[in-house]
């Protein structure tokens, strides 16, 4: 019923538009095409001026009411995010100036220089100086803006500081997994051939590598220390995903078989952001910014930024993946074997006791 009503409305709109066009054509025939054209020009010139006023007000209203949700220039929670916001601000200023100048001139000229009988049009086919200005000036401005972007990009993808923590982020349909190095500060080796969910080895860690024995694997949330650089080693297990960190103004693709990296420094804790935003339910989000399947929109992770003391308390409460996947299972197997052997031992003891009593008789 809803589809039928929508089709009926569209059809009615087409019929009305068609009839208005035909009526306009009949009026032009009656009044004369020349007179009708000049009248249409005056009406269109006035409507263009009206559109300029209404459009500029719309731009102001949208910015005034939606800036915090769309173009807000505050709230970056990383050192790199501050630079990105600054670059965005400069870009908006440069493009905004050009936008207002060109649009105001465009619509004002359309109104002011509309066709009139006392005005003769002047054809302006070519001007080297003007073309040089509108080619060179935008080229210089864009070069400066792009240079800022390249510098910032090479900073986050370059060598991380020596004191940076390392966390591996792995995406798969439709979840994020995180691996932290243990006390040795080194992530152990892994291979996709060793991935086995049934054996608690979802990342394919190679247990023969001693460096994997103290690695901690977690399904989230991701824990980071405020004011401490962190290097993310990013990958994927199935299709291409993308680690989107909107509050930190960062993004990096997660590609199967091709690790990517970026580093940044969180400058605000989760508790500080809760106070700043006034939202008790605030969390730093990890969004998948690459369409990866039917559950793409639900592929969401969380980040907790905390003090070093809070991080240490959480970290030392975690169990290493090797402990869970290997040692605990070995202990369970040994206990089960011992339990199974216990009844046989008791029976052997009873048999020996009977034999001894028989000899005595």
Say which residue the tokens 């949330």 belong to: 221
Is residue 335 in a domain? no
Higher pLDDT, 360 or 49: 49
State how far the Cα of 241 lies from the Cα of 356, in Å rounded to an integer: 73
The mean pLDDT of the chain is: 86
The yes-or-no verdict on residue 270 having pLDDT over 70 is yes
Give CA angle at 78 (76, 80), nearest 5°.
100
Q: In terms of domains, do 173 and 40 share one?
A: no
Q: In terms of domains, do 267 and 288 share one?
A: yes
Residue 20 binned pLDDT confidence (cut-offs 50, 70, 90): confident
Q: In terms of domains, do 137 and 185 share one?
A: no
Residue 312 binned pLDDT confidence (cut-offs 50, 70, 90): very high
CATH number at 285 reads: 2.60.40.420
> What Å distances lie between residue 90 and 84, 185, 329, CA to CA?
10, 40, 58
Is residue 349 in a domain? no
> pLDDT at position 27, please?
62
Looking at the structure of the chain, the number of domains it has is 2
Question: Which tokens hold the place of 232?
Answer: 């993310």
> pLDDT at position 358, please?
47
Q: In terms of domains, do 142 and 259 share one?
A: no
Q: pLDDT tens across 27-37, in order?
A: 666 656 667 77
Q: In terms of domains, do 176 and 145 share one?
A: no
Question: Which tokens hold the place of 55?
Answer: 């459009």
Is residue 12 in a domain? no
Q: What percent of the chain has pLDDT over 90?
A: 51
Is residue 336 in a domain? no
> pLDDT at position 29, please?
62
Q: In terms of domains, do 110 and 230 share one?
A: no
Average pLDDT over residues 144-161: 91
Ramachandran quadrant class, 200 (left: phi over 0; alpha: psi -120 to 50; beta: rest) = left
> pLDDT at position 71, please?
55
> pLDDT at position 350, please?
47
Query: What percent of the residues of the chain are helix, what percent strand, and what percent coil, each to the nearest 5?
Result: 55, 20, 25
Q: In terms of domains, do 215 and 144 share one?
A: no
Q: In terms of domains, do 140 and 235 share one?
A: no
Question: E strands within the chain?
Answer: 165-172, 175-180, 216-218, 222-225, 230-236, 241-245, 250-254, 260-264, 284-288, 300-306
Is residue 346 in a domain? no
The yes-or-no verdict on residue 330 having pLDDT over 90 is no
State how far the Cα of 353 lies from the Cα of 361, in Å rounded to an integer: 13
Average pLDDT over residues 112-134: 83
> pLDDT at position 332, please?
81
Q: In terms of domains, do 226 and 244 share one?
A: yes
Q: pLDDT tens across 247-262, in order?
A: 999 999 999 999 999 9
Which residues form the domain of 102? 32-115+128-157
Is residue 331 in a domain? no
> pLDDT at position 356, please?
55
Q: 284-288 and 241-245: which strand pairing?
A: antiparallel
The yes-or-no verdict on residue 14 having pLDDT over 90 is no
Among 82, 80, 226, smallest CA distance to 154 is for 80
State how far the Cα of 297 lies from the Cα of 291, in Å rounded to an integer: 8
Question: Which tokens hold the place of 69?
Answer: 């949700």
Is residue 341 in a domain? no
- Give me Rg for the CA atoms of the chain: 35
Q: In terms of domains, do 172 and 316 share one?
A: yes
Question: Which tokens hold the place of 228?
Answer: 């401490």
Q: In terms of domains, do 85 and 226 share one?
A: no
Is residue 173 in a domain? yes
Higher pLDDT, 79 or 73: 79
Residue 26 binned pLDDT confidence (cut-offs 50, 70, 90): low
Q: In terms of domains, do 275 and 226 share one?
A: yes
Average pLDDT over residues 268-281: 91
> pLDDT at position 289, please?
92
């Amino acid at each position: 019923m809803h589809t039928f009503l929508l089709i009926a409305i569209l059809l009615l709109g087409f019929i009305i538009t068609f009839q208005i066009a035909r009526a306009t054509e009949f009026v032009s025939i009656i009044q004369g095409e020349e007179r009708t054209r000049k009248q249409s020009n005056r009406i269109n010139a006035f409507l263009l001026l009206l559109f300029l006023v209404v459009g500029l007000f719309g731009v102001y209203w949208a910015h005034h009411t939606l800036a915090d949700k769309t173009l807000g220039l505050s709230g970056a929670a990383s050192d790199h995010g501050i630079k990105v916001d600054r670059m965005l601000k400069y870009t908006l200023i440069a493009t905004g100036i050009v936008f207002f100048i060109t649009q105001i001139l465009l619509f004002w000229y359309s109104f002011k220089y509309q066709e009139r009988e006392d005005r003769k049009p002047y054809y302006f086919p070519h001007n080297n100086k003007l073309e040089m200005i509108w080619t060179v000036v935008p080229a210089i401005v864009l070069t400066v803006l792009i240079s800022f972007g390249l510098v910032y990009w090479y900073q986050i993808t370059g060598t991380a500081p020596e004191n940076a923590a390392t966390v591996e982020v792995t995406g798969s349909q439709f979840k994020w997994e995180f691996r932290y190095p243990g006390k040795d500060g080194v992530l152990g080796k892994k291979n996709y051939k060793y991935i086995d969910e049934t054996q608690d080895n979802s990342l394919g860690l190679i247990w023969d590598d001693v460096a994997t024995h103290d690695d901690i694997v977690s399904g989230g949330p991701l824990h980071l220390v405020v004011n401490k650089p962190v290097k993310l080693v990013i990958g994927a297990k199935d299709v291409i995903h993308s680690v989107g960190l909107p509050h930190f103004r960062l993004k990096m693709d997660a590609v199967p078989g091709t690790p990517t990296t970026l580093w940044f420094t969180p400058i605000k804790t989760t508790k500080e952001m809760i106070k700043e935003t006034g939202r008790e339910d605030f969390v730093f989000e990890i969004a998948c910014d690459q369409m990866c399947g039917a559950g793409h929109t639900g592929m969401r992770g969380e980040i907790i930024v905390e003090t070093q003391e809070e991080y240490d308390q959480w970290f030392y409460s975690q169990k290493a993946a090797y402990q869970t996947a290997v040692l605990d299972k070995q202990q369970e197997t040994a206990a089960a074997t011992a339990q199974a052997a216990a009844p046989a031992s008791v029976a052997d003891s009873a048999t020996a006791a009977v034999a001894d009593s028989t000899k005595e008789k």
